Amino acid sequence: MTGKIESGQLCTVEPIADVTTVAVGDIVLCKVSGNEYLHLVTAIQGGRFQIGNNRGFINGWVGPKAIYGRCVKVSL
């Protein structure tokens, strides 16, 4: 299985003004351990978001302040 976004693809990310609009399945730009990554939102519980990749790996949970934007376009 390949990822939704492959290495080297250009992505357009828009800021998220209200994190309550983030849904499971969204690809978000978030900060994890001091680094910024694009991750798939796999679950939402209370005010936190479980992030993972399209290959089934779960990276963990982040709070709303760690999410900066939503991927809205992927160019080839």
Between strands 35-45 and 27-32, the pairing is antiparallel
Q: How far apart are CA 50 and CA 43, in angstroms?
A: 5
Q: How far apart are CA 4 and CA 2, in angstroms?
A: 7
> Region 21-37: what's the mean pLDDT?
92
Q: How far apart are CA 43 and CA 25, in angstroms?
A: 8
Average per-residue pLDDT for the chain: 90
Q: Decide if pLDDT at 2 tops 60.
A: no
Structure confidence at residue 1 as a pLDDT band (50, 70, 90): very low
CATH number of 10-75: 2.10.109.10
> Region 47-58: what's the mean pLDDT?
89
Q: Decide if pLDDT at 65 tops 50.
A: yes
pTM: 0.87
Strands in 67-75's sheet, in edge-to-edge order, are 10-15, 67-75, 27-32, 35-45, 48-52, 58-62
> Region 11-34: what's the mean pLDDT?
93
* Segments making up each domain of the chain, as ranges: 10-75
Q: How far apart are CA 8 and CA 66, in angstroms?
A: 23
